Amino acid sequence: MNRRTLILLLLTASIALSLPIYVFADGNVEKAYCKITIKEGYVVMQVSYNISGNYPRLTYNISEYKDYIVRIYLIKGTEYSIVDTGDDIISVQYSIDTKLVFILKDVFKVEGSITKVDIPLSLIAPLEFNVSCDIDIIQDIASEWDIAYPPVFTKYTSTAHGVISCVSAAEKLRAEIILRSTEWLWLRCNVLNRTILIEDTGRVTVIDYMVLESIGNYRVSRVHLNLPANATIKCVRGVLGKYIRGGGIGQYEVSASENSTKLTVALVAPPAPGEIAELTIEYTIPAFSENGELIVNAFFNPNIMVLNSSVYIRVLGEIRDISMSPSERFVKGIYQVALFKDKIPSIPDLPVNTEVKINASINTFAKYFQYLKIGAVILIPSLLLFAYYKGFYSKRKIPTVVVEKIEYRSLVESLRNNYVKLFDLIERRKELRLRYLERKISRHVYRQRLLSISRKIAALEQDIGAKIKEMEEISPGFRHVADEIKRLMAEIKDCERELERIIEDRRRGRISRRDFERTLNEIEAERDKKMREISGILEEIL
């Protein structure tokens, strides 16, 4: 062996050793491409194959991953089907230009400022063959991140690329991603019930009822949703009452763009991790006609992960034909209803068709005829009673009594808004104390911010006291309501003192972290319950 040959062999060996080649199983190997996108609280795995053999159907063993799989989509162009995940072994009909999309939840594990994301790469390979896979990872939720395993990836600012030469379904290969951040303000929609009222051919009314869960590590105070373009918001309501338009707590903001209508809701009672919030949003969207059919964007995702959805399309008249097969069709009063289960894409930006074409006969008169029937039932007896008593009372002289009614609705609304601001400040004060406890801010900054919040709380409490006194003078009956509110506020202040005490105990090391977090959650739950009771009382008397 001459010197040149030896050098070439050494170079070849060094290059081969430097390449991370993972071979996990024997058997036929096909080409695959996988794009993994890490989003706010969920992961999307998009898989496609370049198959040389003849595989009419592909099967996957998902028994170990069923708790993490939200939905599996088989997408070709803008058409898609949902894969049934009821069994441990699933089967799909794969063809050219088809993508298999796995939506994964609960794969994040938060440990302080470190969040580990556990991604099951074995889902890439079907049971029929192993795959040589090109993998791209995309994440834009953390400024600092890393890939702990497998060590085959070249990492860039927000992306990474790697090749695994052979992935087998039997090997249970997983990727572990490390994200570094202190705050995850994540929400997901556990339930989305959408009612679409079609009573005209120009616009339709949409009512979305959403159950939102906080799945990050902090309370989420704002909900950001995307509705279709040219949507007009009619009403936003929570458990504690209506939200008004504006930029503060208990209010909502709307901004329009060419492709969507953005809705931001500042929640009255922001949910802590594991807690829920409920929203009902009523709005109208355009409907377009084409060849006698009504085209409605019925299944759009409102920019949030959706676990379960139901869409009720209610037509005032007759549904002659509909472009998608509903789960159920039935009649409710003067409406014909088509029900669709889980047709709303589980995540936003999934490249699928969300429009439905409806051939319907709209019977506008039916709605007004119903009102006429109700009016007749009320009006006819009223006229008969009026005719009877008119003859009796016309013989008597009735003294005129002037009753002065004092309108204090605006005063109640002002009082409610003040309590919303007060509760927000109380929550901000608690968060400030926790940030100081965790040494995220300096003592100087902590004292300045605490003083500012305390002054605002004192000013609000003074204004609230003046308004309550004014309302007691206007309506003596309000005193009972005021007494109940004062009692609840006294209990809230007791909770605040308890929070301050356990935070101080934790700072001095008198209580373990586990006991601290448990007690903190218990006190917060009790305090928030009292806050909701006050908001409910004021909402009832509005």
Mean pLDDT per 10-residue interval, the chain, length 542 residues? 52 41 51 96 95 85 93 91 92 90 94 90 95 95 92 95 94 93 90 92 91 91 94 91 88 92 93 90 90 92 95 93 92 91 94 92 62 48 48 37 45 82 88 87 86 90 88 79 90 93 90 88 88 81 68
Position 186 scores a pLDDT of: 94
C-alpha of 72 from chain center: 20
Position 477 scores a pLDDT of: 75
Closest CA to 443 of 458, 433, 454, 457: 433
Measured from the Cβ of residue 237, the count of other Cβ atoms closer than 10 Å reads 14
- The DSSP symbol for 401 reads -
Position 4 scores a pLDDT of: 56
What's the pTM? 0.67
Position 475 scores a pLDDT of: 77
Position 3 scores a pLDDT of: 56
Position 408 scores a pLDDT of: 61
- The DSSP symbol for 23 reads B
Measured from the Cβ of residue 332, the count of other Cβ atoms closer than 10 Å reads 9
Position 176 scores a pLDDT of: 96
Alpha-carbon distance of 61 to 176, in angstroms, equals: 21
Residue ranges with strand state E in 271-327: 276-286, 288-290, 293-296, 306-322
Contact 336, 320 (CB under 8 A): no
Q: Which residues pair with 89 in a beta bridge?
A: 61
- Non-local CB neighbours of 32 within 8 Å, separated by 6+ positions: 47, 48, 49, 50, 124, 125, 131, 132, 133, 134, 167
- The tokens for 187 are 């929400």
Closest CA to 110 of 219, 221, 216: 216
Alpha-carbon distance of 464 to 449, in angstroms, equals: 22
b vs e for 270-289, b when ≥16 Cβ sit within 10 Å of the residue's Cβ?
Answer: bbbbebebebebbbbbebee
Position 294 scores a pLDDT of: 92
- Non-local CB neighbours of 206 within 8 Å, separated by 6+ positions: 194, 195, 196, 197, 231, 282, 283, 284, 285
Q: Which residues pair with 308 in a beta bridge?
A: 191
Closest CA to 85 of 98, 104, 107: 104
